Amino acid sequence: MWVSHFFFWPLLSVSAPQGNQDTSSILADLQRVAVFIPQMDPPELAEDVWWKMRDHLTKKRRMFLASKQFLVDKELFQPKATLSRADAIILARLLDAQALVTSYLREKTFTLQVIDGREGQTLWQATKTLNPSISTADQIFSVSISLIDDFVNAIPYQGSIMIDPLIGKALYEEGDILLAKVSIGNEPRIRPGDMSHFIKLKNTEA
């Protein structure tokens, strides 16, 4: 099962991540994400880091996140580092995920990667180098959370319209006013009176 947190963005224009427009559009439309355990030693620390990263993403309220039990049931609660495009597509289908998050520690360098579940391409990736004079356990949590924040900040839009469950539409009228309900997560960068830009995204098959 997917954890029941709705993650929709209010479509304000903010800085898009570097890369092509297709990648930016995919990032903007992410709603279902599966986070794998980081590949690092010791395993106990790796699982603790997974919990911290997943919990931090959950608090952002930007997307549905696969639960531990869901990953266990699929026999995928395990470390994942780099994935081939074919493996990424297969795993995404098994988990019904639009994106997969993998991470790994190599010689004091921690890497976080977000992979598109449909095409298997890398949507976003970044690394941070740990301080060699400080133990891994004393800094890996802050480093991994920092990368999670960098990923969330790379999403080019801040919210998305919610479908009203009673009327089954995204837009509705009250008198002469056209209204929409928009979910903006727990850390919105929007204030009353700010100009909003609404963008419709549509998946197209080649």
At 70, list the tokens: 């869901």
Q: What is the mean pLDDT of the chain?
A: 80
DSSP one-letter string for 167-195? T--SEEEETTEEEEEEE--SS----TT--
Q: How big is the CA angle at 90 (ends 85 and 94), to the nearest 5 degrees? A: 145
Is the pLDDT confidence value at 7 over 50?
A: no
Q: Determine contact, residues 34/64, Cβ cutoff 8 Å.
A: no
Helix axis angle for 140-154 and 43-60, nearest 10°, is 40
Residue 64 is predicted with a pLDDT of 86
Predicted local distance difference test score (pLDDT) of residue 202: 60
Question: DSSP E strands: which ranges in 55-147?
Answer: 64-65, 99-106, 109-116, 122-129
Helix, strand, coil shares of the chain, percent, nearest 5, are 30, 25, 45
Report the range out of 35-44, 160-169, 194-203 with the highest average pLDDT.
35-44
Tell me the DSSP string of 41-75.
SSHHHHHHHHHHHHHHHHHHT-SEEB-HHHHHHTT
- Number of C-beta neighbours around residue 110 at 10 A: 23
Give the 3-state secondary structure of residue 202: coil
pLDDT, tens digit, for every residue of 94-108? 999 999 999 999 999
SS3 101: strand
- Residue-level pLDDT at 103: 97
pLDDT confidence bin for 87, thresholds 50/70/90: very high
Q: Which of 119-123, 140-144, 202-206 has the lowest mean pLDDT?
A: 202-206
Q: Which residues contact 145 (CB under 8 A, 6 or more apart)?
A: 52, 53, 56
Q: What is the pLDDT of residue 1?
A: 39
DSSP H helix total and E strand total for the chain: 5, 8
Confidence tier at 60 by pLDDT (50, 70, 90): confident
Question: Sorting pLDDT into bands at 50, 70 and 90, what band is 86?
Answer: very high
Query: pLDDT band at 109, cuts 50/70/90?
Result: very high
Higher pLDDT, 13 or 129: 129
Give yes or no for residue 30 having a pLDDT over 80. no
Is 14:153 a contact under the CB 8 Å cutoff? no
pLDDT at 40: 96
pLDDT at 117: 92
